A and B are shown apart, each in its own frame.
Chain A
Amino acid sequence: QVQLVESGADLVKPGGSLRLSCAASGFDFSDHSMAWIRQAPGTGLEWISFISHSGRTIYYAESVKGRFIVSRDNAKNSLYLQMNSLRDEDTAIYYCVRSPLRVAAYFDSWGRGSLVTVSS
């Protein structure tokens, strides 16, 4: 059974940093591309970052480019999102999601999400 469990969420001040983790289980993590998607309170879904199964291909949405860094450790079945220079508008639930394939595609499994609050 596929499981994605996010951790690391917190209340942080504007300009601060935070690192989210996602622990994957129930599937061969190294065979799947992964991504982060966020949802600000009461709003829709926004893709923010993608990393290929090997970690060699990475993409970011313009809204986080230069501030967020995605990485993965296939030996630890873990996905990470380092968030720097946080802004009020980064307040959202952050979902760790899996692509069913090695290549970029849709997302077939989602974690429960982790709420990041940026506020002074």
Chain B
Amino acid sequence: DIQMTQSPSTLSASLGDRVTITCRASQSVSSWVAWYQQKPGEAPKLLIYKASTLESGVPSRISGSGSGTEFTLTISSLQPDDFATYYCQQYNKMWTFGQGTRVEIK
């Protein structure tokens, strides 16, 4: 099974901050990585697929990069709507999620 390890588990940041979340795969998953945002009491929402392609309607302050085993999700300027939990997911071989990164207000 492919393991996805996210870091950090929790991130405290202020409005306007640039934040980066990292996801490492236990073996190469090429670019087959998606990122999701989940707010309390809601279903996850797709943000990025194929490592760096922004889903329609997702603000451009959110971006993704990486390939192989290392991937990042970056929010260039944190907005109130961005405080949430973020999950990476590989879909190269079956599907595996990272454990999540909670972005909280500093």
Q: Find out whether the CB atom of B96 lies under 8 angstroms from the CB atom of A47.
A: yes
Say yes or no: is A105 at the interface (Cβ < 8 Å to chain B). Answer: yes
* 12 CB-based A-B contacts, threshold 8 Å: A44-B98, A44-B99, A45-B36, A45-B100, A59-B94, A95-B44, A104-B91, A106-B89, A106-B91, A107-B46, A108-B49, A110-B43
User: What is the interface size of chain B, counting residues whose CB is below 8 A from a CB of the partner?
Assistant: 21
Q: Find out whether the CB atom of B46 lies under 8 angstroms from the CB atom of A106.
A: yes
Partner of B95, one of A47, A108, A111, A113: A47
Q: Find out whether the CB atom of B43 lies under 8 angstroms from the CB atom of A111.
A: yes
Instruction: Enumerate chain A interface residues (CB-CB to B < 8 A).
Output: 35, 44-47, 50, 59, 61-62, 95, 104-113
Per DSSP, are chain A's interface residues mostly helix, strand or loop, or mixed? loop
Q: Find out whether the CB atom of B43 lies under 8 angstroms from the CB atom of A45.
A: no
Partner of B87, one of A44, A59, A111: A44
Say yes or no: is B45 at the interface (Cβ < 8 Å to chain A). Answer: yes
Say yes or no: is B34 at the interface (Cβ < 8 Å to chain A). Answer: yes
Known: A44-B87, A111-B43. A35 touches B100 (CB 8 A): no
CA distance A3 to B10 in the complex (A): 32
Q: Which chain B residues border A110 with CB–CB below 8 Å?
A: 43-45
Say yes or no: is B97 at the interface (Cβ < 8 Å to chain A). Answer: yes
Say yes or no: is B55 at the interface (Cβ < 8 Å to chain A). Answer: yes
